[in-house]
Amino acid sequence: MKKKILSLLLVLTLVFATFAACGKAESKSDDKEGKTYKVAYIARAQSDSFAAWLANEMKAAAKEYKDIDLEVFDGQADDEKENAAIENAISNGFDAIIVQPNNGEAQRPYVEQVVDAGIIAITTNARIDGIKGASSVDADPYLQAKVNAEQAIKQVPQNGRVVVLKGPSGNFHADERLKAWKEVFFKARPDVKIVGEDFANWNKDEAMQLMEDWVTSQGKIDAIISMNDNMAAGALEVVKDNPDYKNILSYGVDGTAEACLLIEQGKMTSTCLQSAIDLAKLNMETVHKLLTGEEKQIDTNIEEVLITKDNASQYVKMYRERGLITE
């Protein structure tokens, strides 16, 4: 009888031990499934219209993922401040850091620090090539400028006089867009003369100052060739009430709400959409795949879409629906 009781107690002990082990295993699984990933997004500058749009879309896209907690930091178009933000994100234990570079080469060693710390690193708008262990989500800046340049070949008048507004020196997007204009447009149109060319660093105010100088010193200008919409809009602001520039052509990149309105109104010629909506969604999809281990390395691009007077209204409508145009 004692032997039977001891045997029964032993069986029950084993059963309870098994349940306890299962409970612990299930608890570990639940912990993993319930993990929230901390993601830092280091924005180039909230004063830049496209960068601000992208930061807002990043927040919206992150809300679609219950396991992602996104924090946005403003680099203020300053390399030292952006680099400090990256270092702070590393020390604060973020699981992933997405960097929108102000100047790719200036941010390169700090993104390398992210990788060395064992943190998932993504560069976006513009990517920084050649960092082993870092992923990227971007657009093809050469193609973005190319679709505009192909239009300009037919639109800029013979012996036209143009000004060129450049993005930051060393920035991948700025350099590749300018390269496309040189190889596609200026090579096909050797008759065109550049009467003004300078860096406006994506900034509207800097573009306005340059345009004011060029209008004074050069007089006739047939076209504004800009590496982004913000600078193009700034240059157009300078000549908007001057009848001598009523038919000036203007080209940009980004497809911002302001640019689409200007195109719809016949004040700007064309732009290439760099959809912050698509870019943000692709960034969140990419970082989630990397965080969950579904992928180890991802380098991907969104598509480029030309916006002209023919289709600008559909994008103006899109911006109104998203509350980015309220008038």
Q: How far apart are CA 208 and CA 205, in angstroms?
A: 5
38: which 2 tokens? 């901390």
Domains of the chain: 37-137+276-296 (3.40.50.2300), 141-273 (3.40.50.2300)
Task: Tell me the one-letter amino acid at 175.
Answer: D
96-99 and 249-251: which strand pairing?
unpaired
Q: What is the DSSP string of 148-211?
A: HHHHHHHHSPTT-EEEEEE--TT-HHHHHHHHHIIIIIITT-TT-EEEEEEE-TT-HHHHHHHH
Q: Mind listing the pLDDT tens digit of every residue in the chain (327 residues)?
A: 433 333 433 333 433 333 333 433 333 333 346 789 999 999 999 888 889 999 999 999 999 999 999 999 999 999 999 999 999 999 999 999 999 999 889 999 999 999 999 999 999 998 999 999 999 999 999 999 999 999 999 999 999 999 999 999 888 899 999 999 999 999 999 999 999 999 999 999 999 999 999 999 999 999 999 999 999 999 999 999 999 999 999 999 999 999 999 999 999 999 999 999 999 999 999 999 999 999 999 999 999 999 999 999 999 999 999 888 887
Longest CA span, the chain: 113
